[in-house]
Amino acid sequence: MTEFSYQARVYYEHTDAGGVVYHGKYVNFFDQARTEWIRSHGLQQSIMREQANVLLVVRAMNIDYLRPAKLDDVLMISCRILEHSAVKMIIGQEIKVDSQLIATAKVTVVSVHAERFKPMRFPQKYLQLLLTK
């Protein structure tokens, strides 16, 4: 499956007292990249909710911090589907600085009904879009 890349810059607000990106901010960077990955396929989560009553929620996330990101670094954040079923996707993500791997994540995303917050089948038309391109 194809890989999507998203670029972000480290700002002062992302850093901790040690001058490196605070560990919790990596979750935000990974989330931004997944959101832009969805948008790159012509989808928006707000429209998916309106049209199909579906939300994509993170069920689990495992992050490996390999090297620190620092102020003014340009991050390249990638996304690709590793596995999928009718209800969930496992997405592999990486953050690189100057082609050096600094963090990886394995994210389990499930589709839930927007009103009941119960698992539901991910609409096939959306899944097909995410699996192509």
103-113 pLDDT, tens digit each: 999 999 999 99
Q: What three-state secondary structure class fits 97?
A: strand
Question: Where in the chain are the domains?
Answer: 4-131
Whether pLDDT at 1 is above 70: no
Please say whether the beta carbons of 40 and 51 come within 8 A.
no
> How many Cβ atoms are within 10 Å of 107's Cβ, its own excluded?
21
In the structure encoding, which two tokens stand for residue 82, read together? 């590793």
Q: pTM of the entire structure?
A: 0.93
Dist. CA 106–CA 129, nearest whole Å: 21
38-48, pLDDT tens digit by residue? 999 889 899 99
Q: Please give the average per-residue pLDDT across 70-93, as a whole number.
A: 96
**Is 64 annotated in the active site?**
no
In the structure encoding, which two tokens stand for residue 61, read together? 């996330």
Dist. CA 122–CA 52, nearest whole Å: 9
Candidate CATH numbers 3.10.129.10, 3.30.930.10, 3.40.50.300, 3.40.50.12780; the one for domain 4-131: 3.10.129.10
Distances (CA, A) of 9 to 6, 20, 47, 75, 128: 10, 13, 28, 6, 31
Of the listed 16, 31, 64, 72, which one is catalytic? 16
| 125 — pLDDT class (breaks 50, 70, 90) | confident
Rounded percentage of the chain residues whose pLDDT exceeds 90: 82
Q: Please give the average per-residue pLDDT across 59-66, as a whole number.
A: 98
7-38, pLDDT tens digit by residue? 999 999 999 998 899 999 999 999 999 999 99
Dist. CA 31–CA 35, nearest whole Å: 6
